[in-house]
Homo-oligomer: A and B are copies of this chain.
């Protein structure tokens, strides 16, 4: 694995850990990484506690090319991400003149720049800003750490501004073969197909729909040809048990699979 094409994510948010909020940021960011050929290696969800944020950030930023964080950069007392990132890097977190200008442009007048709002313009020394196309207050990049808002729409806007600056590899392509076979029945043959294709990750995911168990066999690779061939093998395997796949979803190019 090419370390230049790896990423990790720290979700900072009591609301996820308490069960109040169903997270959707992990899936959004994971999908964008796959499309850009970047492998998301780990996600951590940590509470709004300084030590927890510092530890997660410092452990993960050394392991991967890009570390993303979401949450905790607003104006309220529970927004402690910027100060925590500064501490993680051992730098101060003063008022940033450029960020202050952005807030002034957004709130229109000096009198609107309250102490609370100006908290959002405090940024670690050495960071560069990430534009927020939705609500003014910027995120920031500190070394390989990209600090974004937790509100999904704002995070998504910030990520759009970040992606063109990241390295990109061949996108991960994913084919799915669905069938009604129990996974324990196909496990051995599927393992043989996995062994045959080193560049393809094959996953087996049982699920319930309308009360009955189904199975999704997911093949994933950046290598179109091998992925195509492995998918044909999986379809042949399903048919060898005397059933037709209930669904085939293919993103690779090549001769027809069916």
A162-215, CB < 8 A from B: 172, 174, 183-188, 190-191, 194-195, 201-208, 213
What residues on B are CB-neighbors of A45 within 8 Å? 26, 42-44
**Is B22 touching A194 in the complex (CB atoms < 8 A)?**
no
Q: How far is the CA of A208 from the CA of B191 in the complex (A)?
A: 45
**Is B43 touching A30 in the complex (CB atoms < 8 A)?**
no
**Is B76 touching A151 in the complex (CB atoms < 8 A)?**
no
Closest to A193 in B: B77
Task: Type the 1/0 row for A201-245, where 1 means its CB is closer than 8 Å to any CB of B.
Answer: 111111110000100001010000000000000000000000000
| Minimal beta-carbon separation of A187 from chain B (angstroms) | 3
**Is A31 touching B19 in the complex (CB atoms < 8 A)?**
yes
Range for the number of chain A residues in contact with chain B: 35 or more
**Is A75 touching B184 in the complex (CB atoms < 8 A)?**
yes
**Is B153 touching A184 in the complex (CB atoms < 8 A)?**
no
**Is A76 touching B18 in the complex (CB atoms < 8 A)?**
no
Interface on chain A toward B: helix, strand, loop, or mixed SS?
A: mixed
Number of copies: 2
| Minimal beta-carbon separation of A34 from chain B (angstroms) | 5
Q: How far is the CA of A172 from the CA of B114 in the complex (A)?
A: 34
16 A-B pairs with C-beta separation under 8 A: A16-B27, A17-B40, A18-B174, A19-B30, A20-B218, A43-B44, A43-B45, A74-B204, A76-B183, A77-B191, A78-B204, A116-B184, A116-B188, A135-B213, A151-B206, A153-B208
The 6 closest A-B pairs by CB, nearest first: A19-B31, A116-B187, A19-B30, A77-B191, A43-B45, A76-B204
